[in-house]
Structure 1
Amino acid sequence: MHPLGKVVVAGVALVVFCGTAYGYANLRSLDEVTRDDVIGAEAKPGEQPADGSLDILLVGRDSRTDLQGNPLPADVLRELRVGPNGDDLTDTLIVLRIPNGTKEVKAFSIPRDSYVSMPGGKGKINAAFGRAKAAEARNRRAAGETDKAKIDQEALTAARRATRQAVEDLTGVTIDHFAEVNLLSFSEISKAVGGVDVCLKTDTKDRNSGADFKAGPQRIAGADALAFVRQRDNVKGGDLGRARRQQVFLAGLAKQVLSSGTLSDPGKLSDLIDAVKRSVVLDGSWNLLDFVGQMRGISGGGIEFATIPTVNVDYRYDPANPKATAVQVDPAQVKAFAAGLIGAHAPAAPAPVVDVSNASAHAGLAARVADVLRDKGFTPGTTGNTGSRRTSLVRFGPDLADRGAEVAKLLGGLTTQQTSSVPPGHIEVLLGSVYAGPGIAGGGGAPGGDEPITSGGVVCVD
């Protein structure tokens, strides 16, 4: 349920990117927004974090309740085109990086199915919230607490903190502020700004989310906006494609607030602030008025979106359940990516050495493939020819299982083999006669790429 991240930007795009005297004065009414002790630190005026960037975590929850924990009415659920049952999942995770002393905002998505380490064992990052919530509720009851409302609130605080920690552990980013929205708030905020412009490359329909859109540019709000960012089926790229949908919507929402007169229209601004107050949760240390002062002057195209690097979007993480899939990520890669957004350099583990052997009739193939892997950050090892074989194979020791799988993926999905016979720190690639991956025709092929998403214009997506 990814709408939530976007909602925050309404709340935070109103807050974050506001620039008019009227808007600034009326932001004081946001003092009534719900707060929670997610961060714990006291915010300082004109924040200049030590890591070089003010970092905000936008969280979207697949929640069918209001801020008081009451179930949403049946008529509201029907309007939103969602069922009565929701999970304690964070289906939207977006980090905004605002480098110290600049007006550029770098936003990156973390796919909800990213497979990471966290308390309780490895799992999909969107499960961190539910795990911590359930564990804290059990602990409170075991300690003798009987007040349900108090148990629920303490469990929610623990869940938000666990989500923040999971994001920090994966990205190396210190989260300074936290904003959370739910299904209802997303719908209301998208309507409050008068809708958001998006564009689709093809017609698409999905019964589960209620999505039913024609190709081309269009303005969406309310339930349609929710369906746009929630659609799972018939979206090219799976979890990564849906993250791109979220980015496009968020960029459009920011553009709408920044350029359409929302902040100078008393009626729209009032609706937007009311929607934020009803259903957005912020960390207790966030001084919104200070933040607005810092962010004045940001341009309409001043937000640039990306997604963290991934190793395998069809990762079969459970041998006992081969149909279960997740998105495999390399924490070292993710940390380097996040640091690079603000020009910093993350401490990275030494790159594995990759030795490439050519068992095919293609002259020079080993050297070309080694060049491809060097460009992807691996250390070139030995290259040469070896005895003829038909199939290709990537071999590695147990210490490099994740990086070995990454090499196999980069070369077109080669078979892998874990073995102790490979020297520590090395990965071995054997290229068979049927190899058809990067480097086969010389040069490794041109990398594909989607059009960059910014808040400066509308990008058509799948």
Structure 2
Amino acid sequence: MHKLGKVLVAALAAAVFGGTAYGYTTLESLDGVSREDVIDAPEPGEQPADGSLDILLVGRDSRTDQQGNPLPPEILRELRAGANGDDLTDTLIVMRIPNGQQAVKAFSIPRDSWVTAPGGNDKSKINEIFGRTKFAKAGELRKAGKTDKAEIEKQAITAARKATLKAVEELSGIKIDHFAEVNLLSFYEISKAVGGVEVCLNKATKDRDSGADFPAGRQTIQGADALAFVRQRKNLPRSDLDRVRRQQVFLAGLAKQTLSGGTLANPARVSELIAAVKRSVIIDSSWDLLDFVRQMRGVSGGGIAFETIPVVNPDYRYDPKHPTWTAVQVDPAQVRAFAASLIGTPPATPQAPAGPTVDVVNASGKDGLAARISDLLAEKGFKKGDTKAEAQRRTSVVRFSDASERAAEVAKLLGGLTVQQADSVPAGHIEVVLGQVYKGPGSSSGGGGAAGQGDQPITADTEGCID
């Protein structure tokens, strides 16, 4: 989950006190961190081609330890986690570190983001790719005659990690250079090792599933409470998007606590932190942590900024047969442009409008909706037509006279609207009529922007409370 903070903390902590003999002696023990061949090793001295060192931090909702053994019942009770956990990736964060710079930009990918699975056309929530790949790989190995359960598990998990990494690369358009994974227990241990993290809530909140039970205002949390804080999604205004915000706030506070909260001046705490990382973190085989520490020297807690990828529709109904099933709809083109902008790389030149012309009618009563939809479709290569408001109606429709295939494309882009042929629509035009219940892309003023719809980047210096 938020376990990614571990590697962040260990590496950044090292950067601060790495100039001392004690620092380097302690950090060399990081060589004991578990490794796995998830990423091909780069050539010696090779610089990332995209101008940024990109690190994928994965948090797994796993009820096992580093060796794959089930966690004891007493530990599960303290973690407030059930015994039957799915193999889901509850947290996906990419850290972008521009070559030769010390500004660290990190962005979250909501766990329910609706994406195309690597190597095919199947769509799923991005957090399900790990478990599906693991299950499929295990079945493939058993079918091939493999019987060693431990070896099957090991190979299946490796395949799942690679598939998750590939999904992130395909969505974001960036090449991941390093990988780190943590789970429930590891986050629990790390948060205790640093002595807790201060957070602030706008109001009291409680959630039975995660175990969250917090008063309003500032408070320091660690262990099981910290885990509950970053896992809660129920009883939050924006559900999973607010959980992402919680994770970012906690990680920023974790970095601040480690870098400026007395942790580094306390050898016992540093040793406990390093030990917790070694017990619970898995990284790729090619990652030279000491070299990374040197690269990160001078970064402060406030030097890490957390954002969230652009979201089209946080309440996307992806299966007409199951209208209550929801996902987070994202546009890969928007996500790639956003990821590139974090290191100043200009996005690809937009596709030139190639028709047909799309006229948009706002019958929803929401100010500015027609203009937002017109802009959104223009980004997809459609010509801008007229925008106007009409008397309110409940439902939405896409009308055409002679452009049925492109009308179906527009309908799909807008979340699966009904398509109708209408002689009243001019030749070469498509007409989009937006009703009161329209909840597709652009339905709010946040449009295709960040999930937080106006949320500012989170850093260790961010003030104020959150939900």
What's the TM-score once normalised by structure 1's chain length?
Answer: 0.86
- In 2: Cα distance, 1:116 partner to 1:192 partner: 36
Matched residue, 1:205: 206
- In 2: Cα distance, 1:138 partner to 1:227 partner: 34
Cα deviation code 1:70-107 (max 9, x no counterpart): 11111111111111111111010000001111110110
Matched residue, 1:356: 359
- In 2: Cα distance, 1:51 partner to 1:239 partner: 30
Matched residue, 1:56: 55
* Distance change in 2, residues 1:32/1:132 (3 Å): same
Matched residue, 1:36: 36
- SS state of the match for residue 217, structure 1? strand
Aligned ranges for residues 14-93 of structure 1 at < 5 Å?
14-15=13-14, 19-21=18-20, 22-42=22-42, 44-45=44-45, 48-93=47-92
Cα deviation code 1:406-442 (max 9, x no counterpart): 667xxxxxx9334688999976333679999999xxx
- In 1: Cα distance, 2:386 partner to 2:71 partner: 62
- In 1: Cα distance, 2:465 partner to 2:236 partner: 13
* Distance change in 2, residues 1:64/1:403 (3 Å): farther
- In 2: Cα distance, 1:288 partner to 1:341 partner: 23
- Offset, 1:266: 0.8
Letter in 2 for 1:453: I
- In 2: Cα distance, 1:237 partner to 1:369 partner: 24
Question: CA contact under 8 A between 1:80 and 1:223: conserved in structure 2?
Answer: yes
Question: CA contact under 8 A between 1:54 and 1:100: conserved in structure 2?
Answer: yes
* Distance change in 2, residues 1:300/1:143 (3 Å): same
Letter in 2 for 1:460: C
Question: CA contact under 8 A between 1:43 and 1:285: conserved in structure 2?
Answer: no
Matched residue, 1:383: 386
Which residues of structure 1 form unaligned runs of 5+?
A: 409-414
Q: 1:429 aligns with which of 414, 427, 432?
A: 432
- In 1: Cα distance, 2:162 partner to 2:137 partner: 11
Cα deviation code 1:219-257 (max 9, x no counterpart): 110000000000121112111111111100111111111
Question: CA contact under 8 A between 1:255 and 1:457: conserved in structure 2?
Answer: no
- In 2: Cα distance, 1:386 partner to 1:216 partner: 44
- In 2: Cα distance, 1:25 partner to 1:190 partner: 23
* Distance change in 2, residues 1:20/1:428 (3 Å): farther
- In 1: Cα distance, 2:48 partner to 2:264 partner: 28
Letter in 2 for 1:182: N
- Stretch deviating more after TM superposition (11-20 or 86-95): 11-20
* Distance change in 2, residues 1:142/1:16 (3 Å): farther
Letter in 2 for 1:319: P
Aligned ranges for residues 68-147 of structure 1 at < 5 Å?
68-118=67-117, 119=119, 121-147=122-148
What's the TM-score once normalised by structure 2's chain length?
Answer: 0.85
- In 1: Cα distance, 2:257 partner to 2:284 partner: 25
Matched residue, 2:323: 322
- In 2: Cα distance, 1:132 partner to 1:434 partner: 37
Matched residue, 1:449: 454
Aligned ranges for residues 190-339 of structure 1 at < 5 Å?
190-339=191-340
- In 2: Cα distance, 1:157 partner to 1:253 partner: 29
- SS state of the match for residue 460, structure 1? coil
Which residues of structure 2 form unaligned runs of 5+?
A: none
- Offset, 1:26: 1.2
Aligned ranges for residues 138-177 of structure 1 at < 5 Å?
138-177=139-178
Letter in 2 for 1:211: A
Question: CA contact under 8 A between 1:316 and 1:323: conserved in structure 2?
Answer: yes
- In 2: Cα distance, 1:239 partner to 1:451 partner: 17
Q: How large is the Cα RMSD of the aligned pairs?
A: 3.6
- In 2: Cα distance, 1:18 partner to 1:424 partner: 69
Question: CA contact under 8 A between 1:311 and 1:406: conserved in structure 2?
Answer: no
Cα deviation code 1:388-416 (max 9, x no counterpart): 774574528666868656667xxxxxx93
- In 2: Cα distance, 1:294 partner to 1:87 partner: 36
- In 2: Cα distance, 1:407 partner to 1:105 partner: 34
* Distance change in 2, residues 1:84/1:148 (3 Å): same
- SS state of the match for residue 262, structure 1? coil
- Offset, 1:140: 1.7
* Distance change in 2, residues 1:252/1:398 (3 Å): farther
- Stretch deviating more after TM superposition (99-108 or 19-28): 19-28
- Offset, 1:314: 1.0
Aligned ranges for residues 345-424 of structure 1 at < 5 Å?
345-347=346-348, 350=351, 355-358=358-361, 369-370=370-371, 373-374=374-375, 378=379, 381-383=384-386, 390=393, 393=396, 395=398, 416-418=417-419
* Distance change in 2, residues 1:372/1:203 (3 Å): same
- In 2: Cα distance, 1:134 partner to 1:438 partner: 33
- In 2: Cα distance, 1:117 partner to 1:385 partner: 35
- In 2: Cα distance, 1:375 partner to 1:407 partner: 9
- SS state of the match for residue 96, structure 1? strand
Cα deviation code 1:46-89 (max 9, x no counterpart): x6311010000000001111111111111111111111111111
